[in-house]
Amino acid sequence: MFHYTFFGLGKTFTKESTDEEVIQEVTKAFDLKDDYQEFDLEVVFEDGTKKEHKLINK
């Protein structure tokens, strides 16, 4: 499990982005392979809105 805090990741996702879009963006930014077992990301946007993205890869 990794815990990171990101500022200015160069992200293009928004509060309205789907889990799939966010996961794709983050795995690409960190050059992660698709063989991960679980993906769990909490994003806090500049306005304080929190959104969690989860996926269990089977």
Length of the chain: 58
Place of tokens 């996702």: 13
Q: Could you give the percent of the chain with pLDDT greater than 90? A: 3
Predicted confidence at residue 52, as pLDDT, reads 92
Place of tokens 């989860």: 54
Predicted confidence at residue 7, as pLDDT, reads 53
Q: Are 49 and 35 in contact (CB under 8 A)?
A: no
Predicted confidence at residue 1, as pLDDT, reads 47
Each residue's pLDDT tens digit, 1-58 = 444 555 555 557 888 888 888 888 888 888 888 888 888 888 888 888 899 988 887 7
pTM: 0.66
